[in-house]
Amino acid sequence: MLIKAQWFKELLREMSADAILELGIFNLSADKTKKTTTASNTTPKRTELEEEEEDLEDLSPLFWQPGKRGYYSPRPGKGSAERLSAFRNVGRVIGLCFIQNELIPLLLNRHVIKYILGRKISWHDLAFFDPVMYESLRQLILDAETKDGSLVFSALDLTFSVELSPEEGGEQVELIPGGSDIEVTASNVYDYVRRYAEYRMVDSAEKCLQQMKLGVFDVIPRGSLDGLSAEDFRLLLNGVGDISVQTLISYTSFNDESGEGGEKVQRFKRSFWAIVEKMTISERQDLVYFWTSSPALPASEEGFQPMPSITVRPADDNHLPTANTCISRLYIPLYSSRSLLRQKLLLAIKTKSFGFV
């Protein structure tokens, strides 16, 4: 992973700043995307209520959480040119994050990353998208291999169609022509599962996925992600969510401005790391966000620019710690006790006392 990350960074360094600016990536004008038409040449006139509902749907959030909390997939809405342009700009932001070595707090579902990378998306990726439905489909496959499989399927009354959630369009879609009249049986369940997974993950939002992919490669060279797996991509883009205290210790340096020196400062260091060690995962993420402006650690040491540091200020029990996130530096007074240090530190990371000091 570290070798791949270093290779990727070296490749991006070869791009000049002028080349990036010439891309016009901040042009927010809508792409000239043609809306798909129905098989009929004539479209019934819509009522004002229908038009209002469509407008509201197109103003809905760009992403939703289909399964595991905190992981997002594109929400297609009505697929207007403006909405698709927004997805392309999301892709451009992702590309800029790669170039600038910045982390982004947008955790994408695995199939979204694989689509951007051009990897094959399999039905097993549904486990990361909708784990409940994945388990149900897996059980269907197991049932098909039993002697009583035909009885199980006849009782289920399944057809080659899918009922989409409101975030996916809120309609019933046939997976094959006439699918609502074709029953799922033990002999065709594999085809059903494959088509179901493909439609839910890809087909229902493919225009959005395609625009995100185009946006990424508006900014970085095509082929620059070829050496990455979906896991590598996530580490480079989102960093390491689980904050390792030992890793943080190895990254951090101390500057003594307290005027005390010696044993008092050493005691302060021990107290600080003991407090961090006992923090919850959420508190550690808040601390790192307060300290560096990102709630996660980068995938490797090279991701910090500059490395995190702590400046120990003169003794002062009244003021809170502050941070300069531009240079990943904490400023902490030499408090009179460990309990006071803990109290002030937790208060600071909750109130987010940023500042140039």
For residue 307, give the H/E element and its range.
none
Lowest mean pLDDT among 44-53, 109-118, 169-178, 342-351: 44-53
Residue-wise pLDDT tens digits, 105-134? 899 999 999 999 999 999 999 999 999 999
DSSP one-letter string for 215-280: HHHHHS-TTTTTT--HHHHHHHHH-BSS--HHHHHHH-EEEE-SS--HHHHHHHHHHHHHHHHTS-
- What average pLDDT does this structure show over 340-353? 87
Beta carbons of 167 and 75 less than 8 angstroms apart: yes
C-alpha 232: how far from its chain's center? 13
Beta carbons of 348 and 325 less than 8 angstroms apart: no
- Examine the pLDDT at 332 and tell me if it is beyond 60: yes
Residue type (1 letter), 29: S
- Examine the pLDDT at 16 and tell me if it is beyond 50: no
The pLDDT of residue 23 is 41
Residue-wise pLDDT tens digits, 33-74? 333 333 334 445 556 655 555 566 678 899 999 988 888 999
User: Which runs of E-coded beta strand occur in the chain?
Assistant: 63-64, 73-74, 161-163, 172-174, 253-256, 309-313, 322-324, 329-333
As given in the structure block, the two tokens for residue 245 are: 């205290």
As given in the structure block, the two tokens for residue 2 are: 């570290």
- Whether residue 208 lies in the annotated active site: no
Catalytic residue, chosen from 2, 326, 340, 347, is 326
Cα–Cα dist 158/182, whole Å: 8
Q: Hey, what domains does the chain have and what are their CATH numbers?
A: 2-36+51-119+205-238 (3.90.1750.10), 124-201 (3.30.2160.10), 245-351 (3.30.2410.10)
SS3 84: helix
